[in-house]
Every structure is written in C-alpha cells, then in structure tokens.
Chains A and B, each alone.
Chain A
Amino acid sequence: MTKNMVHRALSTLVEVGYLVRDHTGKRFEIGPGVLNLLGGEEEQIDFRAVCHPYLLRLHSATEESVFLSIIVGQHRVNIDSVEAEGRRVTYGLRGRSVPLYQTITSRMLLAQLSDSEIKYYLASVASHTSSNGLDPFDSTQLWAELGEFRQRGFGIATTDGSLKQLRANYACFALLDSLGRPHGAISVGGPLERFPTSRIKSLMPAMLKIVAELNLVAKQFPAEPVFLHRN
C-alpha cells in the first residue's frame, strides 16, 4: 500500500471508531468502536459443541481416547468423549462423577480454581472423609501437583491399573476463559504399551497446538460459575 492509501485507511478506521490515537498522539490503538462487534446479548454457548471438533482432532492426532470434563459441584463429570479403536482406556464414561482430588483430569480442573476455593474444597473433603476414617490425599503433594499444573497448563500421569482397568497414560489440558477460570479439561488417554510417556512427549507439540486453538475460542466467553458448596 502507498502512504496515501494507508493514510486513507487509517482515517476511515478512526472515523468509525475502530482506531483511536494513543496518548502520544503519534500512534494508533484499537478503538472502542470494536465493542459494537460484540452484538447485544451474550450468547449461550454449548461448550460441548464448541469442543467436539477439537476432540476429534486430538483423537486423529493421537489415535487414542479423548475426554472432555467439567466441574459440577465438588466433582468432575465427563460430558463428551471420542473412543479409540482396539484396547483403550475405559474410565471416562460420559456422566461419570469423580471427586476433584482424584485422577489427573480432576486435579487439572481443581488447579484452575483460586487458592481460597481449593482450601475450602479440601477442608470440606477432609471433614467428610476423616469421619469415615479415610485419608484421601497427601495435602502437600497435592498442592505441589496443582502448582505444576497451573504453571504448565498440562499434566501427564500414569494410572496403576486394576482388575477392571488397564495401566494407562493420560495427558491432560486445561480449558480456560479470558480470566483464567476453568471451562473444563481435556484428557487424552491410552494403554501404557501403546501410549507410553515417550509417545506423549513426541505428540505434545501437536496436542498443545490444538488445545491452544481451542483455548483461543474458549477465551471468548466466560466460564460458568463453580458451585463448590453444592453437590
């Protein structure tokens, strides 16, 4: 573009309010006119529908099972999944409710809450489980893990396996709104022999790219409030 064309384009953008001069008067800033592009009412977003294409892409990139989870009360609930072929992890049945301190996906969601919310939740769990004589988690270790998840935005974990479950590996990613509140979490899981940590590491750049694209979309609408004191 010539200087004249740029000048005309800038003038037009200023006139419609999409640009304003900055405080120095020499440069341009995006202007408040762009707020007209938000439309009137905030949309009701179907979070599952928004995420589903990205679940398919993650499945296509990894060939493993992919799960989408959200926080409901003091639990994590799976609301969508794409199943792998052949031997596959089975823990992610849709609608299954898991406490927020259990499993990597739950902890990834827990990590995205504020410290005061986490403290409230852990105290609530501790009071409930101590009456049953149970000791559900090591608090120091849990806080360290939550700190790591917050810092990295993803986590990797191996499950021990049981009679019903395979030994499996999971990679988990947080989905956040523009204020860092959790919409949900996505986990990709597969049997250990097919989805070892080395394979997760080699697939990580591709998975992170897909999740980053989804997070760009997720940032455009606010996360639902979390009702930790309701079950």
Chain B
Amino acid sequence: MESPTNSSASNVFSALEILNKVPNPIGVTELGQSIGIPVSSAHRALATLEQSGFAVRYQSSSKWIPGPAGKQLAHSFFSRFHIRQLCVPYLRQLAYFTGETVSLSVRVTDQIVRIAYVSGTKDVVSHRPLGERRMFPDGTASRVLYAFIEGMSPQSYSKRPGLIDQTEIMLLEQEYAAIHTYKFALTPGSTLDTSEETSFAVLLNDRAIAAITIEGRLRGDDGSDPKTVINQTLSLIKNIEADAHAEGVTKSQFNPYDHLPASL
C-alpha cells in the first residue's frame, strides 16, 4: 500500500525543485506553469518556502531565487558521513604532495557523490562542485566503488539494456580484476603517465566505503614520478583504513547510506 502524501506539501517541494533547477530568477506565473498548478497555489508554495528560508526575492523584484536554507540542508547531508572527517587530513596531504585537487566520493544508491575536496595549488581553473553526482561508469571513482560492491559483477550490468555491451563487459571484467589487485583505477585506456584522474579505494572489511580521487596527472609537486605518487597514496589510505579499524566505527556510520541498494 502506498503511503499517503500531502498534496500542498508536494506543490511546495515541486516549487523548490524548479527554483533550484532553473538558471535564472523565476516569476510566480512561470513557476505555476512549470509545475502545472494554479498561480494562487504557486503563490502559497513560494510564501511557505520564503518563510522557511528556501526562497528569497531576487533583488526586491517579483522574481524568486533559492534561499540559503537549501544549501545549509545540503551541507548537513555531507556532514552525515563520518568517513569525511577521517579522510580530510589525508586529502590535504595528498593535495599538497601532488598539487592537484583531491576529492572524496561515496556511493549513495546508484550515484557517486563528491562529498569533499581539497583544491590543489595547480588547480587554477574552476573545479567540479561539491555534491556533484555521477553515474556508473562515469569517472574513476564510480569504477572503483562499483568494483567492490558485492553482487555487482560486470555481467550484472548487462541486465540494463543499452548501458553496456558484451565487449565492454569483458573490458570491465579485466578492469575489475586490476582494481581488486591494485586498489585503484586509472582513466580508461590510459597509463600511469597519461591518466587524467586516478581513484583509490578506501576499504573496510573488503568493501569500498569511499574513493579518493587525484583529479590530475600523477606527478608529485616535487617532481616525483607516478609510481611514487601511487605508493604514497596507497600508504596514506592504509593509514585511513587503520584509523577506521581503530575507531571501531561501523560501515553505516562511515556512510549512513551504504545500506541503500545500488540499483542499475
């Protein structure tokens, strides 16, 4: 049986979603049309959102933009991950060592979410935002995390039509074997010297609880070669895993969404 929901509340959430989706300030009529509700309902939805800080008027005009409360709520989502606190000092060390931006990603259902990053000193262009979500097989973090999910063999991906063909499955099987051996994934088709990003698995009881990604070439800021960077990173990750074991924190505390299935 489906749970009953509140239709006025649904209007409010739909208004909130539209407000956060559109690139420009939006008027109440346009908002009502986007959701398919009368202007009066759109007015009420916006008044509710304004009252709770989720919507504000754009420069005192009749148009609206998202308020600060939404961002605050989204940021409280990141703080739910204990692994974030544990990894931050190591992300800093890696960003300092490589000069590249280093990020931390976790799996939430079938999405890979970037929950923390430390900007590298070489990163002078804008980087990807916090909270960015990618779907498998996009990005090395998703490949590392999926390689360690039980019951998610490359063959199981073929159940989703159009996602992946048999040749890709074979390549993925080879990649999974390599990830299980080396605990990291390079940009597909690249080598240690040419990989544009490299993700490393952080394991707890043989299950990846997070991925750490060096978002650039594997070169130390001091001129170290890729192998040295890999060894240095693997050594830092061992420290993280040791810290995790020492703290005796459960998987659900490191990632409270780990129990949600990775549906494809």
Contacts and interface: CB of A to CB of B under 8 A. Distances in A.
A23 B74 contact: no
B66 interface: yes
Nearest to B10: A12
B185 interface: no
Given A40-B23, A116-B96, A11 B5 contact: yes
Interface string B239-256: 000000000000010001
Contacts of A139: none
Contacts of A32: 77, 108-109, 111, 113, 257
Instruction: Classify the interface of chain B: helix, strand, loop or mixed.
Output: mixed
Contact of B3 (A11, A16, A23): A11
Nearest to A16: B13
B218 to A, nearest CB: 19
A117 B256 contact: no
B25 interface: no
B142 interface: no
Given A12-B5, A225-B119, A227-B121, A38 B131 contact: yes
Closest 4 A/B residue pairs (Cβ): A37-B70, A11-B3, A42-B129, A225-B119
A229 B78 CA distance: 31
A34 B77 contact: yes
Interface of A: 7-9, 11-12, 14-16, 18, 20, 22-23, 29-32, 34-42, 114, 116-117, 178-181, 216, 219-220, 222-229
B20 A36 contact: yes
A225 B76 contact: no
Interface string B66-80: 101011111111111
B18 to A, nearest CB: 10
Contacts of A11: 3-6
B3 A180 contact: no
B13 A39 contact: no
Contact of A181 (B118, B120, B129, B221): B118
Given A179-B91, A181-B118, A114 B96 contact: yes
24 contacts: A8-B5, A11-B5, A11-B6, A16-B10, A16-B13, A29-B257, A30-B77, A32-B109, A32-B111, A32-B113, A32-B257, A36-B17, A36-B20, A37-B16, A37-B66, A37-B70, A37-B74, A42-B129, A114-B93, A178-B78, A179-B91, A220-B68, A222-B130, A225-B118
Interface of B: 3-6, 9-10, 13, 16-17, 20-21, 23, 54, 66, 68, 70-80, 88-89, 91-93, 95-97, 108-109, 111, 113, 116-121, 123, 126, 129-131, 133, 221, 252, 256-260
Nearest to B72: A220
B91 A23 contact: no
B121 A229 contact: yes
B20 A41 contact: no
Contacts of B23: 40
Contact of A225 (B71, B78, B80, B121): B121
Contacts of A39: 20, 66, 71
B223 to A, nearest CB: 13
A219 B75 contact: yes
A38 B9 contact: no
Contacts of B72: 216, 220
